[in-house]
């Protein structure tokens, strides 16, 4: 919702490399979402280490292993761009 009341919308936007407050705030929110995804990955690691096999599936492990990497790539090369829609899920 941070970008809804600014110039950002759901269409493809050019990457904003400026230091204006809107671009910086969108990048900050992207990094916060990355930290949340990393926390979810660590949670899955603890499930595996505790051998709670009833709570994890192969899809669960692959999802929580790959999403932090793809989110990091999106933030590194396109924070503030339309890649932010990746954080909807």
Q: Which residues are catalytic?
A: 63
Helices (H), 1-89: 21-49, 58-78
Rounded CA gap, 80 and 68, in Å? 17
**Residue 55 CB coordination number (10 Å):** 11
């Amino acid at each position: 919702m941070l970008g809804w009341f600014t110039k950002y919308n759901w269409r493809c936007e050019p990457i904003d490399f400026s230091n204006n407050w809107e671009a910086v705030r969108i990048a900050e929110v992207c990094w916060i979402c990355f930290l949340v995804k990393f926390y979810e990955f660590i949670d899955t690691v603890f499930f595996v280490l505790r051998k709670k096999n009833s709570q994890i599936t192969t899809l669960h492990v692959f999802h929580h292993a790959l999403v932090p990497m793809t989110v990091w790539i999106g933030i590194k090369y396109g924070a503030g761009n339309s890649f932010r829609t990746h954080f909807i899920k």
